[in-house]
């Protein structure tokens, strides 16, 4: 999922370079949403990992 965020970030940079403001804004928004979704999933995964590990 982090790779998708990076891909949309690169698309946003390229689109902004060529002057496509709407496309750049949309791609940057998608990249931001995917990045924060990745962070939430990482935190949940770490919490589950440590709680399961302590039960064993």
Taking alpha carbons only, the member of 40, 47, 14, 45 closest to residue 32 is: 40
Question: What is the model's pLDDT at position 42?
Answer: 92
Domain map (residue ranges) of the chain? 2-55
Question: What is the model's pLDDT at position 11?
Answer: 87
pLDDT per residue over 3-55, tens digit each? 888 888 888 888 888 888 788 888 888 889 988 999 999 999 999 999 887 66
pTM equals 0.68
């Amino acid at each position: 999922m982090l790779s998708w965020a990076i891909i949309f970030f690169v698309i946003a940079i390229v689109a902004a370079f060529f002057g496509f403001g709407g496309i750049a804004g949309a791609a940057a928004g998608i990249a931001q949403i995917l990045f924060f979704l990745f962070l939430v999933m990482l935190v949940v995964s770490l919490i589950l990992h440590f709680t399961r590990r302590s039960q064993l």
